[in-house]
Structure 1
Amino acid sequence: MQINKQFRSRIGFPIDETITFETLPVILEKTALAIPFENLSIIRNEIHPLTLNNVAEKILIRNQGGLCYELNTILYQFLMENGFEVTLVLGSTYNAERLTWSPTGRTHVINILTYKGNKYAVDTGFGGNLPLVPVPLTGECVSSRNGEFRIKEERTEYGNYVLEMKLRHKHQDWVTGYTFDTTRPVKDLNELSRVQQIIVESDQSPFNKNYLVTRITEKGNMILTDSSFTNRIDGKELKENIQADQFELFLKSYFNIVK
Protein backbone atom coordinates (compact mmCIF):
# COMPACT_ATOMS: atom_id res chain seq x y z
CA MET A 1 0.00 0.00 0.00
CA GLN A 2 1.31 3.45 -0.97
CA ILE A 3 0.50 6.29 1.46
CA ASN A 4 2.79 9.07 0.18
CA LYS A 5 0.12 11.28 -1.36
CA GLN A 6 -2.38 10.86 1.48
CA PHE A 7 0.26 11.56 4.11
CA ARG A 8 1.40 14.75 2.35
CA SER A 9 -2.20 15.87 2.08
CA ARG A 10 -2.83 15.13 5.77
CA ILE A 11 0.10 17.25 6.96
CA GLY A 12 -0.18 19.96 4.30
CA PHE A 13 3.05 19.28 2.40
CA PRO A 14 3.27 19.76 -1.41
CA ILE A 15 2.61 16.57 -3.36
CA ASP A 16 5.42 17.15 -5.88
CA GLU A 17 8.19 18.47 -3.60
CA THR A 18 11.19 16.19 -3.13
CA ILE A 19 11.92 15.37 0.49
CA THR A 20 15.57 15.51 1.54
CA PHE A 21 17.26 15.02 4.90
CA GLU A 22 17.26 18.80 5.29
CA THR A 23 13.47 18.79 4.76
CA LEU A 24 12.80 16.38 7.63
CA PRO A 25 12.39 19.04 10.37
CA VAL A 26 9.61 20.56 8.26
CA ILE A 27 7.98 17.16 7.82
CA LEU A 28 8.22 16.37 11.54
CA GLU A 29 6.79 19.72 12.59
CA LYS A 30 3.92 19.56 10.11
CA THR A 31 3.16 16.02 11.24
CA ALA A 32 3.09 17.09 14.89
CA LEU A 33 0.84 20.05 14.11
CA ALA A 34 -1.62 17.98 12.08
CA ILE A 35 -1.82 14.56 13.75
CA PRO A 36 -2.64 14.29 17.47
CA PHE A 37 -1.32 11.76 19.94
CA GLU A 38 -4.47 10.10 21.26
CA ASN A 39 -5.99 6.92 22.72
CA LEU A 40 -9.59 7.36 21.54
CA SER A 41 -9.92 3.94 19.93
CA ILE A 42 -8.73 2.20 23.10
CA ILE A 43 -11.19 3.96 25.40
CA ARG A 44 -14.00 3.47 22.87
CA ASN A 45 -13.08 -0.22 22.49
CA GLU A 46 -12.60 0.16 18.74
CA ILE A 47 -9.42 -1.88 18.45
CA HIS A 48 -8.39 -3.22 15.03
CA PRO A 49 -5.47 -5.44 14.00
CA LEU A 50 -2.30 -3.40 13.61
CA THR A 51 -1.84 -3.43 9.84
CA LEU A 52 -0.62 -0.67 7.56
CA ASN A 53 -4.03 -0.53 5.89
CA ASN A 54 -5.82 -0.09 9.22
CA VAL A 55 -3.39 2.54 10.47
CA ALA A 56 -3.60 4.46 7.19
CA GLU A 57 -7.39 4.27 7.23
CA LYS A 58 -7.50 5.65 10.75
CA ILE A 59 -4.94 8.44 10.41
CA LEU A 60 -5.08 9.43 6.73
CA ILE A 61 -8.71 8.76 5.81
CA ARG A 62 -10.64 9.31 9.06
CA ASN A 63 -8.26 12.12 10.16
CA GLN A 64 -7.69 10.70 13.61
CA GLY A 65 -4.39 10.34 15.45
CA GLY A 66 -2.92 7.49 17.43
CA LEU A 67 -0.29 6.30 19.85
CA CYS A 68 3.42 5.79 19.15
CA TYR A 69 3.05 2.40 17.50
CA GLU A 70 0.55 3.86 15.01
CA LEU A 71 2.09 7.30 14.47
CA ASN A 72 5.62 6.04 13.91
CA THR A 73 4.43 3.15 11.74
CA ILE A 74 2.77 5.58 9.33
CA LEU A 75 5.84 7.85 9.41
CA TYR A 76 8.07 4.82 8.76
CA GLN A 77 6.09 3.93 5.65
CA PHE A 78 6.16 7.52 4.43
CA LEU A 79 9.91 7.81 4.89
CA MET A 80 10.46 4.48 3.13
CA GLU A 81 8.38 5.58 0.16
CA ASN A 82 10.45 8.74 -0.10
CA GLY A 83 13.72 6.84 -0.32
CA PHE A 84 15.06 6.95 3.24
CA GLU A 85 16.83 4.10 5.00
CA VAL A 86 14.79 3.64 8.14
CA THR A 87 13.80 0.98 10.64
CA LEU A 88 11.47 0.75 13.62
CA VAL A 89 12.85 -0.08 17.08
CA LEU A 90 11.34 -0.59 20.52
CA GLY A 91 12.11 1.13 23.79
CA SER A 92 10.64 2.19 27.11
CA THR A 93 9.60 5.62 28.37
CA TYR A 94 10.87 6.97 31.68
CA ASN A 95 8.66 7.84 34.63
CA ALA A 96 10.35 10.81 36.28
CA GLU A 97 8.08 10.67 39.34
CA ARG A 98 8.86 7.04 40.11
CA LEU A 99 12.41 7.20 38.73
CA THR A 100 11.88 4.04 36.72
CA TRP A 101 11.16 2.79 33.21
CA SER A 102 7.57 2.18 32.17
CA PRO A 103 6.08 -0.90 33.85
CA THR A 104 4.77 -1.95 30.43
CA GLY A 105 8.37 -2.50 29.24
CA ARG A 106 9.29 -2.17 25.58
CA THR A 107 6.16 -0.37 24.41
CA HIS A 108 7.59 2.83 22.95
CA VAL A 109 8.14 2.71 19.20
CA ILE A 110 10.44 5.06 17.26
CA ASN A 111 12.16 5.27 13.89
CA ILE A 112 15.93 5.04 13.41
CA LEU A 113 17.01 6.71 10.17
CA THR A 114 20.43 6.21 8.60
CA TYR A 115 21.83 9.07 6.51
CA LYS A 116 25.37 9.24 5.16
CA GLY A 117 26.44 6.55 7.60
CA ASN A 118 25.04 8.35 10.66
CA LYS A 119 21.99 7.24 12.63
CA TYR A 120 19.21 9.49 13.90
CA ALA A 121 16.12 8.97 16.05
CA VAL A 122 13.02 10.22 14.21
CA ASP A 123 10.00 10.18 16.50
CA THR A 124 6.49 11.54 16.03
CA GLY A 125 4.87 9.47 18.80
CA PHE A 126 6.00 11.12 22.04
CA GLY A 127 3.09 13.45 22.71
CA GLY A 128 4.06 16.97 23.71
CA ASN A 129 7.72 15.97 24.12
CA LEU A 130 8.54 15.65 20.43
CA PRO A 131 12.01 16.77 19.30
CA LEU A 132 10.55 17.91 15.93
CA VAL A 133 13.97 17.24 14.35
CA PRO A 134 16.09 14.14 13.73
CA VAL A 135 18.24 13.51 16.83
CA PRO A 136 21.70 12.02 16.14
CA LEU A 137 22.86 9.03 18.16
CA THR A 138 26.23 10.71 18.70
CA GLY A 139 25.37 12.70 21.82
CA GLU A 140 25.21 15.96 19.87
CA CYS A 141 22.56 18.36 21.16
CA VAL A 142 19.93 19.53 18.67
CA SER A 143 17.26 22.16 19.14
CA SER A 144 13.77 22.96 17.93
CA ARG A 145 11.11 25.34 19.15
CA ASN A 146 10.03 22.55 21.52
CA GLY A 147 13.37 22.47 23.36
CA GLU A 148 16.78 20.78 23.31
CA PHE A 149 17.39 17.08 22.78
CA ARG A 150 20.31 14.68 22.81
CA ILE A 151 20.89 10.93 22.75
CA LYS A 152 23.66 9.20 24.64
CA GLU A 153 24.86 5.64 24.36
CA GLU A 154 23.98 3.93 27.61
CA ARG A 155 23.01 0.35 28.43
CA THR A 156 19.67 0.11 30.24
CA GLU A 157 17.20 -2.63 31.01
CA TYR A 158 15.38 -1.93 27.74
CA GLY A 159 17.96 -0.52 25.36
CA ASN A 160 21.41 0.73 24.46
CA TYR A 161 20.63 4.44 23.96
CA VAL A 162 18.83 7.06 26.06
CA LEU A 163 17.08 10.22 24.84
CA GLU A 164 17.35 13.23 27.13
CA MET A 165 15.46 16.50 26.79
CA LYS A 166 15.11 20.03 28.07
CA LEU A 167 11.64 21.07 27.01
CA ARG A 168 11.10 24.75 26.41
CA HIS A 169 9.26 26.52 29.25
CA LYS A 170 9.39 23.31 31.32
CA HIS A 171 12.85 21.93 32.12
CA GLN A 172 15.87 23.74 33.50
CA ASP A 173 18.07 20.64 33.45
CA TRP A 174 18.29 17.55 31.28
CA VAL A 175 15.67 14.89 32.01
CA THR A 176 15.36 11.35 30.70
CA GLY A 177 12.71 10.77 28.03
CA TYR A 178 13.12 7.16 27.00
CA THR A 179 15.53 4.36 26.19
CA PHE A 180 15.56 2.32 22.98
CA ASP A 181 17.33 -0.68 21.53
CA THR A 182 18.99 -0.45 18.11
CA THR A 183 20.23 -4.05 18.27
CA ARG A 184 16.71 -5.47 17.94
CA PRO A 185 15.02 -3.83 14.93
CA VAL A 186 11.34 -4.54 14.36
CA LYS A 187 11.10 -7.13 11.58
CA ASP A 188 7.36 -6.93 10.94
CA LEU A 189 4.19 -5.38 12.31
CA ASN A 190 3.39 -8.52 14.29
CA GLU A 191 5.91 -7.30 16.86
CA LEU A 192 4.02 -4.02 17.14
CA SER A 193 0.76 -5.93 17.51
CA ARG A 194 2.19 -7.23 20.77
CA VAL A 195 2.92 -3.63 21.83
CA GLN A 196 -0.67 -2.67 21.03
CA GLN A 197 -1.98 -5.63 23.01
CA ILE A 198 0.01 -4.62 26.09
CA ILE A 199 -1.10 -0.99 25.88
CA VAL A 200 -4.73 -2.03 25.41
CA GLU A 201 -4.89 -4.79 28.03
CA SER A 202 -2.28 -4.20 30.75
CA ASP A 203 -3.42 -2.92 34.13
CA GLN A 204 -0.21 -0.88 34.19
CA SER A 205 -0.88 0.84 30.87
CA PRO A 206 -1.47 4.59 31.25
CA PHE A 207 -3.53 4.70 28.05
CA ASN A 208 -6.46 2.35 28.71
CA LYS A 209 -8.19 4.16 31.56
CA ASN A 210 -9.09 7.71 30.52
CA TYR A 211 -9.15 9.80 27.37
CA LEU A 212 -5.93 11.58 26.41
CA VAL A 213 -5.63 13.73 23.29
CA THR A 214 -2.69 16.06 22.78
CA ARG A 215 -1.20 17.97 19.87
CA ILE A 216 1.68 20.34 19.30
CA THR A 217 0.58 23.86 18.31
CA GLU A 218 2.42 26.82 16.82
CA LYS A 219 3.03 28.27 20.30
CA GLY A 220 2.90 25.25 22.61
CA ASN A 221 0.54 22.32 22.90
CA MET A 222 -3.01 21.33 23.80
CA ILE A 223 -4.19 18.52 26.06
CA LEU A 224 -7.74 17.18 26.29
CA THR A 225 -8.83 14.63 28.91
CA ASP A 226 -12.17 13.39 30.23
CA SER A 227 -12.36 16.29 32.66
CA SER A 228 -10.18 19.16 31.41
CA PHE A 229 -8.77 21.08 28.47
CA THR A 230 -5.33 22.65 28.75
CA ASN A 231 -3.85 25.08 26.25
CA ARG A 232 -0.18 25.92 26.77
CA ILE A 233 0.86 29.08 24.94
CA ASP A 234 4.42 30.42 25.17
CA GLY A 235 4.90 28.80 28.56
CA LYS A 236 1.60 29.98 30.02
CA GLU A 237 -0.96 27.33 30.93
CA LEU A 238 -4.66 27.96 30.46
CA LYS A 239 -6.69 25.12 31.97
CA GLU A 240 -10.44 24.71 32.22
CA ASN A 241 -12.56 21.92 33.61
CA ILE A 242 -15.06 20.35 31.25
CA GLN A 243 -18.13 18.17 31.64
CA ALA A 244 -18.40 14.73 30.07
CA ASP A 245 -20.91 15.95 27.49
CA GLN A 246 -18.45 18.64 26.32
CA PHE A 247 -15.68 16.21 25.38
CA GLU A 248 -16.81 15.57 21.80
CA LEU A 249 -17.28 19.30 21.18
CA PHE A 250 -13.73 20.08 22.33
CA LEU A 251 -12.43 17.14 20.31
CA LYS A 252 -13.99 18.53 17.15
CA SER A 253 -13.20 22.20 17.82
CA TYR A 254 -9.52 21.84 18.77
CA PHE A 255 -8.44 18.56 17.17
CA ASN A 256 -10.78 18.32 14.16
CA ILE A 257 -11.79 14.79 15.12
CA VAL A 258 -15.42 13.81 14.67
CA LYS A 259 -16.68 10.58 16.22
Structure 2
Amino acid sequence: MKGVGRLDIQPYLHHIGINPERVSDRKALFRDIQRRHLLTVPFENLDIHLKHPLSMDPVKVQEKVAVHKRGGLCFELNSLLGAVYRELGYQVHYVSAAFWNEDKHDWNPPYSHLALNVNVEGKTYLADVGVGGGFMEPIEIRHGMVYEDHLATYRLEQTGDTSYILQKSANDQWEKLFQFSTQPEELAAFQPMCRYYETSKDTLFGQERLCSIATADGRISLSEESLTITRNKVKEKSPVTSEKEWRRLLKKYFGIDYDLLEGKVKLNHK
Protein backbone atom coordinates (compact mmCIF):
# COMPACT_ATOMS: atom_id res chain seq x y z
CA MET A 1 0.00 0.00 0.00
CA LYS A 2 1.93 3.01 -1.27
CA GLY A 3 1.55 6.55 -0.02
CA VAL A 4 1.59 5.78 3.72
CA GLY A 5 4.59 5.99 6.03
CA ARG A 6 5.07 4.51 9.47
CA LEU A 7 2.43 5.46 11.99
CA ASP A 8 2.24 5.06 15.76
CA ILE A 9 -1.33 3.77 15.93
CA GLN A 10 -1.62 3.56 19.71
CA PRO A 11 -3.49 6.89 20.13
CA TYR A 12 -6.11 5.76 17.62
CA LEU A 13 -6.51 2.28 19.14
CA HIS A 14 -6.81 3.77 22.62
CA HIS A 15 -9.42 6.24 21.38
CA ILE A 16 -11.67 3.52 19.94
CA GLY A 17 -11.08 1.19 22.91
CA ILE A 18 -9.02 -1.54 21.23
CA ASN A 19 -6.06 -3.38 22.81
CA PRO A 20 -4.61 -5.75 20.17
CA GLU A 21 -2.77 -7.74 22.82
CA ARG A 22 -6.08 -8.83 24.32
CA VAL A 23 -7.44 -10.13 21.00
CA SER A 24 -5.70 -13.32 19.89
CA ASP A 25 -7.89 -13.92 16.83
CA ARG A 26 -6.69 -11.72 13.96
CA LYS A 27 -10.00 -11.94 12.14
CA ALA A 28 -11.85 -10.83 15.28
CA LEU A 29 -9.41 -7.94 15.75
CA PHE A 30 -9.93 -6.92 12.13
CA ARG A 31 -13.71 -6.85 12.59
CA ASP A 32 -13.58 -5.19 16.00
CA ILE A 33 -11.53 -2.25 14.77
CA GLN A 34 -14.10 -1.26 12.15
CA ARG A 35 -16.99 -1.75 14.57
CA ARG A 36 -15.37 0.19 17.39
CA HIS A 37 -14.41 2.98 15.01
CA LEU A 38 -17.99 3.38 13.81
CA LEU A 39 -19.29 3.49 17.39
CA THR A 40 -16.69 6.08 18.41
CA VAL A 41 -15.77 8.28 15.44
CA PRO A 42 -18.45 10.32 13.65
CA PHE A 43 -18.78 10.75 9.92
CA GLU A 44 -18.80 14.55 9.51
CA ASN A 45 -17.95 17.33 7.09
CA LEU A 46 -17.49 20.27 9.44
CA ASP A 47 -14.01 21.19 8.21
CA ILE A 48 -15.43 21.93 4.76
CA HIS A 49 -17.66 24.63 6.26
CA LEU A 50 -14.89 25.87 8.53
CA LYS A 51 -12.69 26.29 5.41
CA HIS A 52 -10.11 23.97 6.96
CA PRO A 53 -8.23 21.83 4.39
CA LEU A 54 -8.92 18.10 4.41
CA SER A 55 -5.96 15.73 4.66
CA MET A 56 -5.37 12.12 3.69
CA ASP A 57 -2.15 11.97 5.71
CA PRO A 58 -2.86 9.29 8.35
CA VAL A 59 -0.69 11.11 10.89
CA LYS A 60 -2.78 14.28 10.57
CA VAL A 61 -6.06 12.37 10.45
CA GLN A 62 -5.15 10.42 13.58
CA GLU A 63 -4.47 13.68 15.40
CA LYS A 64 -7.85 15.01 14.30
CA VAL A 65 -9.64 11.82 15.37
CA ALA A 66 -7.77 10.65 18.46
CA VAL A 67 -6.54 13.94 19.93
CA HIS A 68 -9.28 16.38 18.94
CA LYS A 69 -12.08 13.78 19.08
CA ARG A 70 -13.37 14.60 15.62
CA GLY A 71 -14.50 12.61 12.60
CA GLY A 72 -14.25 13.17 8.87
CA LEU A 73 -15.10 12.00 5.37
CA CYS A 74 -14.14 8.78 3.58
CA PHE A 75 -10.88 10.22 2.22
CA GLU A 76 -9.74 11.00 5.74
CA LEU A 77 -11.15 8.12 7.76
CA ASN A 78 -10.37 5.28 5.35
CA SER A 79 -6.85 6.55 4.72
CA LEU A 80 -6.32 6.30 8.47
CA LEU A 81 -8.02 2.91 8.78
CA GLY A 82 -5.88 1.52 5.97
CA ALA A 83 -2.72 2.70 7.70
CA VAL A 84 -3.86 1.19 11.00
CA TYR A 85 -4.56 -2.21 9.44
CA ARG A 86 -1.22 -2.07 7.65
CA GLU A 87 0.65 -1.37 10.88
CA LEU A 88 -1.04 -4.40 12.41
CA GLY A 89 0.27 -6.59 9.59
CA TYR A 90 -2.79 -6.89 7.35
CA GLN A 91 -2.46 -6.70 3.57
CA VAL A 92 -4.38 -3.58 2.55
CA HIS A 93 -5.26 -1.91 -0.75
CA TYR A 94 -7.03 1.36 -1.37
CA VAL A 95 -9.79 0.93 -3.96
CA SER A 96 -11.93 3.31 -5.97
CA ALA A 97 -15.66 3.37 -5.29
CA ALA A 98 -18.63 5.50 -6.32
CA PHE A 99 -22.09 5.90 -4.81
CA TRP A 100 -25.28 5.55 -6.79
CA ASN A 101 -26.79 8.98 -7.41
CA GLU A 102 -30.55 8.55 -7.38
CA ASP A 103 -31.20 12.10 -8.58
CA LYS A 104 -29.04 11.63 -11.68
CA HIS A 105 -29.89 7.95 -11.95
CA ASP A 106 -26.21 7.25 -12.50
CA TRP A 107 -23.04 6.49 -10.59
CA ASN A 108 -20.94 9.27 -9.11
CA PRO A 109 -17.47 9.67 -10.68
CA PRO A 110 -14.66 7.14 -10.07
CA TYR A 111 -12.51 7.92 -7.02
CA SER A 112 -15.39 9.85 -5.43
CA HIS A 113 -15.36 7.34 -2.58
CA LEU A 114 -12.31 5.75 -0.97
CA ALA A 115 -12.72 2.21 0.36
CA LEU A 116 -10.40 -0.61 1.43
CA ASN A 117 -9.79 -4.20 0.39
CA VAL A 118 -8.09 -6.18 3.13
CA ASN A 119 -6.76 -9.74 2.97
CA VAL A 120 -7.30 -11.76 6.14
CA GLU A 121 -6.46 -15.46 6.34
CA GLY A 122 -6.73 -15.97 2.61
CA LYS A 123 -9.99 -14.08 2.12
CA THR A 124 -10.48 -10.52 0.87
CA TYR A 125 -12.85 -8.14 2.63
CA LEU A 126 -14.42 -4.77 1.89
CA ALA A 127 -13.69 -2.46 4.83
CA ASP A 128 -15.13 1.03 5.09
CA VAL A 129 -15.62 3.59 7.87
CA GLY A 130 -16.30 6.47 5.51
CA VAL A 131 -20.05 6.11 5.03
CA GLY A 132 -22.62 7.97 7.10
CA GLY A 133 -24.74 4.89 7.63
CA GLY A 134 -22.66 1.99 6.38
CA PHE A 135 -22.06 -1.61 7.38
CA MET A 136 -20.69 -2.22 10.86
CA GLU A 137 -18.13 -4.93 10.04
CA PRO A 138 -16.02 -5.75 6.95
CA ILE A 139 -17.80 -7.83 4.30
CA GLU A 140 -16.14 -10.76 2.56
CA ILE A 141 -15.86 -9.99 -1.16
CA ARG A 142 -17.62 -12.71 -3.12
CA HIS A 143 -20.63 -12.74 -5.40
CA GLY A 144 -23.91 -13.12 -3.53
CA MET A 145 -22.39 -12.47 -0.11
CA VAL A 146 -25.08 -11.22 2.30
CA TYR A 147 -24.22 -9.37 5.50
CA GLU A 148 -26.69 -8.19 8.14
CA ASP A 149 -26.16 -5.99 11.16
CA HIS A 150 -28.48 -4.13 13.53
CA LEU A 151 -28.87 -1.31 11.02
CA ALA A 152 -29.48 -2.97 7.64
CA THR A 153 -28.83 -5.91 5.29
CA TYR A 154 -26.26 -5.76 2.48
CA ARG A 155 -25.45 -7.90 -0.54
CA LEU A 156 -22.52 -8.00 -2.97
CA GLU A 157 -23.05 -8.51 -6.68
CA GLN A 158 -20.04 -9.15 -8.92
CA THR A 159 -20.38 -7.27 -12.21
CA GLY A 160 -16.95 -7.90 -13.77
CA ASP A 161 -13.54 -9.44 -13.14
CA THR A 162 -12.62 -6.68 -10.68
CA SER A 163 -15.93 -4.86 -10.16
CA TYR A 164 -18.70 -5.24 -7.59
CA ILE A 165 -21.87 -3.47 -6.54
CA LEU A 166 -22.80 -3.23 -2.86
CA GLN A 167 -26.57 -3.30 -2.45
CA LYS A 168 -28.61 -2.36 0.60
CA SER A 169 -32.01 -3.75 1.51
CA ALA A 170 -34.74 -1.15 1.87
CA ASN A 171 -38.40 -2.09 2.28
CA ASP A 172 -37.59 -5.67 1.24
CA GLN A 173 -36.02 -4.48 -2.02
CA TRP A 174 -32.34 -4.37 -2.95
CA GLU A 175 -31.11 -0.88 -3.85
CA LYS A 176 -27.71 0.14 -5.20
CA LEU A 177 -25.44 1.71 -2.57
CA PHE A 178 -22.04 1.94 -4.26
CA GLN A 179 -19.87 0.18 -6.80
CA PHE A 180 -16.18 -0.51 -6.32
CA SER A 181 -13.20 -2.02 -8.07
CA THR A 182 -10.78 -4.47 -6.48
CA GLN A 183 -7.94 -2.91 -8.49
CA PRO A 184 -5.36 -1.49 -6.03
CA GLU A 185 -4.87 2.28 -6.16
CA GLU A 186 -2.37 4.70 -4.68
CA LEU A 187 -3.68 7.16 -2.13
CA ALA A 188 -2.65 10.09 -4.33
CA ALA A 189 -5.19 9.00 -6.96
CA PHE A 190 -7.99 10.17 -4.65
CA GLN A 191 -6.58 13.64 -4.03
CA PRO A 192 -8.43 15.41 -6.90
CA MET A 193 -11.84 14.13 -5.76
CA CYS A 194 -11.02 14.92 -2.14
CA ARG A 195 -10.20 18.46 -3.19
CA TYR A 196 -13.40 18.65 -5.25
CA TYR A 197 -15.62 17.70 -2.31
CA GLU A 198 -13.69 20.09 -0.10
CA THR A 199 -14.32 23.10 -2.34
CA SER A 200 -17.44 22.45 -4.45
CA LYS A 201 -20.83 23.92 -3.60
CA ASP A 202 -22.50 21.46 -5.97
CA THR A 203 -22.38 18.55 -3.51
CA LEU A 204 -24.38 17.86 -0.38
CA PHE A 205 -21.16 18.12 1.65
CA GLY A 206 -20.64 21.67 0.44
CA GLN A 207 -24.23 22.72 0.97
CA GLU A 208 -24.86 21.74 4.58
CA ARG A 209 -23.13 20.54 7.72
CA LEU A 210 -23.62 16.86 8.49
CA CYS A 211 -22.65 14.64 11.40
CA SER A 212 -23.60 10.99 11.98
CA ILE A 213 -22.50 8.16 14.25
CA ALA A 214 -23.55 4.56 14.83
CA THR A 215 -24.87 3.49 18.23
CA ALA A 216 -25.35 0.09 19.82
CA ASP A 217 -28.99 -0.01 18.71
CA GLY A 218 -29.06 2.38 15.75
CA ARG A 219 -27.68 5.72 14.64
CA ILE A 220 -27.72 9.44 15.45
CA SER A 221 -27.60 11.91 12.55
CA LEU A 222 -27.60 15.70 12.62
CA SER A 223 -28.18 17.91 9.57
CA GLU A 224 -28.80 21.64 9.34
CA GLU A 225 -32.55 21.13 9.65
CA SER A 226 -33.10 18.00 11.74
CA LEU A 227 -31.86 15.52 14.30
CA THR A 228 -32.66 11.88 13.52
CA ILE A 229 -32.28 9.21 16.19
CA THR A 230 -32.74 5.62 15.04
CA ARG A 231 -33.27 2.87 17.62
CA ASN A 232 -33.97 -0.72 16.58
CA LYS A 233 -34.67 0.49 13.02
CA VAL A 234 -37.31 2.97 14.23
CA LYS A 235 -36.54 6.59 13.31
CA GLU A 236 -37.47 9.62 15.39
CA LYS A 237 -36.90 12.91 13.57
CA SER A 238 -36.94 16.30 15.28
CA PRO A 239 -36.56 19.75 13.69
CA VAL A 240 -33.57 21.95 14.49
CA THR A 241 -35.03 25.39 15.09
CA SER A 242 -31.94 27.60 15.35
CA GLU A 243 -28.16 27.77 14.97
CA LYS A 244 -27.84 27.82 18.75
CA GLU A 245 -29.89 24.63 19.00
CA TRP A 246 -27.82 22.98 16.24
CA ARG A 247 -24.60 23.71 18.12
CA ARG A 248 -26.07 22.42 21.37
CA LEU A 249 -27.11 19.14 19.71
CA LEU A 250 -23.70 18.76 18.06
CA LYS A 251 -22.00 19.02 21.44
CA LYS A 252 -24.56 16.85 23.24
CA TYR A 253 -24.59 13.91 20.85
CA PHE A 254 -21.15 14.11 19.22
CA GLY A 255 -19.00 15.88 21.79
CA ILE A 256 -17.95 18.53 19.27
CA ASP A 257 -17.84 22.19 20.34
CA TYR A 258 -18.43 24.20 17.16
CA ASP A 259 -17.75 27.51 18.91
CA LEU A 260 -14.32 26.19 19.85
CA LEU A 261 -13.65 24.98 16.31
CA GLU A 262 -14.57 28.38 14.89
CA GLY A 263 -12.28 30.06 17.38
CA LYS A 264 -9.34 27.87 16.38
CA VAL A 265 -9.90 28.58 12.69
CA LYS A 266 -10.00 32.36 13.30
CA LEU A 267 -6.82 32.14 15.39
CA ASN A 268 -5.01 30.17 12.68
CA HIS A 269 -6.00 32.74 10.05
CA LYS A 270 -4.55 35.68 11.97
TM-score, normalized by length of structure 2? 0.85
- What residue in structure 2 maps to residue 4 of structure 1? 9
Return the letter of the residue paired with 2:27. F
Q: Which residue of 1 aligns with 2:135?
A: 131
Which of 147, 154, 163 is matched with 2:166 structurally? 163
Aligned equivalent of 2:153: 148
1:42 equivalent in alignment to 2:48: yes
The alignment's C-alpha RMSD in Å is: 2.0
Residue 257 of structure 1 aligns to which amino acid in structure 2? I
| Aligned 8 A contact 2:117 2:127 in 1 | yes
> What secondary structure sits across from 1:186 in the alignment?
coil
- 1:15 CA drift (Å): 5.5
SS for the counterpart of 1:232 is: strand
Write the distance in 1 (CA, Å) between the matches of 2:26 and 2:36: 15
Partner of 2:94: 88
**Does 2:219 correspond to 1:213?**
no
SS of 2:207's equivalent in the other structure is: coil
Structure 1, residues 76-132: CA drift from partner, whole Å, max 9, x if none? Answer: 111111111111111100123443212x4421111101123322101111111x221
Provide the rounded CA distance (Å) in 2 between the counterparts of 1:160 and 1:100.
16
The separation in 2 between residues aligned to 1:69 and 1:56, in whole angstroms, is 13
CA apart distance, 1:4: 2.1
- Taking the aligned partners of 1:219 and 1:97, their CA distance within structure 2 comes to 30
**Greater mean deviation of Cα atoms: 44-53 or 34-43:** 44-53
- Residue number in structure 2 paired with 1:248: 247
Aligned residues: 250
Determine whether 1:120 maps to 2:118: no
Q: Which moved more, 1:116-125 or 1:74-83?
A: 116-125
SS in 2 for 1:77: helix
Residue 230 of structure 1 corresponds to 228
Letter of the aligned partner of 2:84 in structure 1? Answer: F
- In the alignment, which residue of structure 1 is the partner of 2:115? 110
Whole-Å Cα distance in 1 between the matches of residues 233 and 140 of structure 2? 27
Structure 1 residue 256 displacement after superposition: 1.1
* C-alpha distance in 1 between matches for 2:92 and 2:78: 11
User: Whole-Å Cα distance in 2 between the matches of residues 113 and 15 of structure 1?
Assistant: 17
Aligned match for 1:196, one of 194, 197, 206: 194
> Aligned with 1:207: secondary structure?
helix
Q: Judge conservation of contact 2:7–2:58 (CA < 8 Å) in 1.
A: no
- Is the 1:48–1:54 contact (alpha carbons within 8 Å) kept by the matching residues of 2? no
Whichever structure has more helix as a proportion of its residues is: 2
Residues 147 and 209 (structure 1 numbering): CA distance in 2 closer, same or farther, change over 3 Å? same
Look up the match of 1:257: 256
